[in-house]
Structure formats: structure tokens, C-alpha cells
Amino acid sequence: MTSIDVHALTKEYGHRRAVDDLTFTVQPGRVTGFLGPNGAGKSTTMRLVLGLDRPTSGTATVGGRVYSALQEPLRHVGALLDAQAAHGSRTARDHLRALAAGNRIPQRRVDEVLEETGIAAVARRRVQTYSLGMRQRLGIAAALLGDPEVVMLDEPSNGLDPQGIIWIRELLRRLAAEGRTVLVSSHLMSETASFADHLVVLGRGRLLADTPLPDFIHAHVRARVRIRTTDDAALKGALARHGHHAVEHEDGHWTVYDARVDDIGRLAATAGVPLLELAAEEGTLEQAYLGLTAAETEFTAPPQEA
């Protein structure tokens, strides 16, 4: 089993700390979502794991070894960092064949990953004629080429069409189910919620969270109950008597904050409040993420004038 281990990792560019004393482990057998505002240090961390940059201090290792010590590294670690990385004047097939040859990967893998990523039909076209989504698929094909135990993808859904987004979700789930170590950065919260088991969240180069996805949501979103009745006055009175904070919405439903659905159901039954609707309102990853990172966001647009 191969994990990615980041220990006390720091990277400075001049006086700027892009990564600041970061320690976390990416475990095999699950998809770890890598989140953080623009400039938080996600890509820099991935570059340090891949040995594309040298840390100022600390270590980043894969299976206990630094990337540069890995023989035929594509057979151990597959990464998509920049979809523009392939040489534009080459065909996709030639690009992958060259990568395979340099890593003692059998040439039949080239055709397999072209099929798997849905670009087999355009494999003999020059990469410069590719759309962003096709380049993205080629980058993912390159990452999978060596059948690696560790897969790191920076914004893999970028440019993909809706079918492509479903495909990448299923691919990530499968890679994790096969026991691989999967680290995926994204700014799309609903997407991340659909594939991640675990989250590592950065803000200004520091670790803000390293936690299972459900725990992250519970920790950062207040529990809420959605309720609707034919007798608003009775509901309001019953909630107030028990000290619940509730807000009525235009369409007639209420939100009760910091409450559990069982408690509100019992309370309504005891008070004889007729119910049309009663449900726990699940917090979303987006709500949790925005709550946590509001103070860590370097680049924000000013509020729009009405």
C-alpha cells in the first residue's frame, strides 16, 4: 500500500510562503479531495510531491521515497497537473507512446488508456487541434498509463462536458475501490462531494482540515430541520416555548436551526401541530467549505452594485 506523506513541508518563493509547514497523509483506498481558495498552495504541494520543485524545508514522499528516487516513476505515480503539457505538434498516440517507452510501459497500454479516456477515435490527430476537454482526457490518459498505485489530478473536471464529469467521477471511485491512492484538487464543491471520501483543505499554504467528508460537513454546517404545517401560529408557539430559533420562508416552510429532526417531530406531535413536511436539511460541502475558508480567501471580487 502506497501513501503520499507530506511532512512539515514549506515552500517559499522569495518572501512569499506558498506552502507553510504542511503535514498530512493521503491514504490508499479512498479519494481525497484537495480543496482551498485560489493561491492556497494546492498545485505547489502537488508539484513538490512530483519533484518538480524543491521544498524550502520538510519532505513530500510517495511510499516513503521522494519522487526523484522512484525508478520509472510513471509506473508508481500518475499525475495530471497541466492539461497543456503535451507537445501540440505530436499526435496524442505518439505523445503517450513516448511516455510509455521512457518508463518501460508496454505499448498496448497506450491503446488501453486511449479507449478508457474516450479519445481513441481522435488519437491520430495532433494535440494542437484538441479542445480543452480532449486535452484534459489526454492528460488523464497519461496519468493512468503506468497503471500507478498513486494518482494525483489537479482540476480533472476542467473543460469536461456533463458526460465527461460523470465519467471522471466513476473513474475516481473505481481507482479508489482498486486500492489506489487518489488525490484530486477541485473548485467544484458538488463535484467533490460526489467523489471524495476524505478532504484535505488548505488556506494560505496552511492545513485547515484533514478529515472525512461527512465529518467536515457536520463540523461546519449547523444542523437544520425543514418543517411545514397548516397551523403556523401553533408551530411558532411550540418552537418558541422550547427555545428553538426558526425562520419562516416565503413559500410557507420553516427552517429550525441547530435542531434534530426527531426532537422537532416529537415536539410538534406533543403540541398537536399538524405537519405537512418534516425533514433534516443536510448541509452541503459548499456551505461547509465557504464557512471555513471565508477568512482564508486572498482574492475576492467586491460585492456587485445592485
Ligand X SMILES: Nc1ncnc2c1ncn2[C@@H]1O[C@H](COP(=O)(O)OP(=O)(O)OP(=O)(O)O)[C@@H](O)[C@H]1O
> Which residues of the shown chain bind ligand X in the complex (CB under 6 A)?
13, 16, 18, 36, 38-44
Looking at the Cβ atoms of 52 and 269, the one nearer to ligand X is: 52
CB of 289 to ligand X, least distance (A): 13
CB of 37 to ligand X, least distance (A): 7
Looking at the Cβ atoms of 42 and 95, the one nearer to ligand X is: 42
Q: Which strands make up the sheet holding 4-13, listed edge to edge?
A: 16-26, 4-13, 57-62
Looking at the Cβ atoms of 28 and 58, the one nearer to ligand X is: 58
Looking at the Cβ atoms of 119 and 168, the one nearer to ligand X is: 168
CB of 47 to ligand X, least distance (A): 7
CB of 51 to ligand X, least distance (A): 15
Looking at the Cβ atoms of 36 and 139, the one nearer to ligand X is: 36
CB of 53 to ligand X, least distance (A): 7
Looking at the Cβ atoms of 53 and 149, the one nearer to ligand X is: 53
CB of 196 to ligand X, least distance (A): 16
Looking at the Cβ atoms of 223 and 290, the one nearer to ligand X is: 290
Looking at the Cβ atoms of 49 and 99, the one nearer to ligand X is: 49
* Residue whose C-alpha cell reads 417531530 in the numeric block: 265
CB of 201 to ligand X, least distance (A): 11
The C-alpha atoms of residue 37 and residue 13 are separated, in whole angstroms, by 18
Q: Beta strand pairing status for 224-229 and 275-281?
A: antiparallel
Q: CA separation (Å) from 73 to 52, 66, 305?
A: 13, 10, 52
| Contact assessment for residue 151 and residue 182, using Cβ atoms and an 8 Å cutoff | yes
The C-alpha atoms of residue 60 and residue 51 are separated, in whole angstroms, by 9
The C-alpha atoms of residue 295 and residue 9 are separated, in whole angstroms, by 22
CB of 119 to ligand X, least distance (A): 24
Residue nearest to ligand X (CB): 18
| Contact assessment for residue 255 and residue 224, using Cβ atoms and an 8 Å cutoff | yes
